[in-house]
Structure formats: C-alpha cells, structure tokens
Amino acid sequence: MTLNEYNYNNELILKLNKIEVQKNSEKISEVFKDYEILKPKIVFNGSNPYLALNHIIVAEIENYSSLETFSKIYVDEDYYYNYGELIIKCKK
C-alpha cells in the first residue's frame, strides 16, 4: 500500500533530498519561526530543481518530473508543527 493509493485530495507530496533537508534543518526552523506566511517556490540551479521557502533554498527536489500537471505548491504547516517534518504538497 502506498500513499498515492489513498490520496483522496489528488495531491502530490514533493520528495526532497533527505541529506540536504537534514543539513538545512536549522534554516528551515528559522523560516518557520521568522515568517508568518510561508511561500514555497521551485528554483533551478543549472538544470536541477530546488525547493525554496521564502527565498531560502532548502533541498533538491527528487520527483520534479511528476510535477508537470500540478500548478500550486504549499507547505503542510500542521504536519511540521505536530511532527517536526517538512511536507510540501502540490495541487492541480
């Protein structure tokens, strides 16, 4: 059973490079602490896609090719505050 089998909201969860997320965990905490509104954005360094939160690069996106049909990305803030894990979701 995978998460996508029971994805009732038709959303995609971004897969981020775990090592980079761990390395930048302090930056991520600062963004959540310092900003009231979180603005995720996909930026490119060469041909590699990265997630930036409020203009701070967090980690490389590992499943970028599956994002072609999605138009909106957002941070699941409740999940971060409850479990301490960064979850970025995409909607059509």
What integer pLDDT is reported at residue 69 of this predicted model?
78
pLDDT digits (tens, 9 = 90+) for 77-92: 999 999 999 999 988 8
Q: Is residue 2 predicted with pLDDT exceeding 70?
A: no
pLDDT of residue 6: 52
Q: Where are the domains of the chain?
A: 13-91
Q: What is the pTM of this model?
A: 0.83
7: pLDDT confidence band, cut at 50, 70 and 90? low
In this prediction, residue 1 has a pLDDT band, given cuts at 50, 70 and 90, of very low
Residue with tokens 């360094």: 45
Residue whose entry in the numeric block shows the structure tokens 């960064």? 86
Q: CA gyration radius for the chain? A: 13
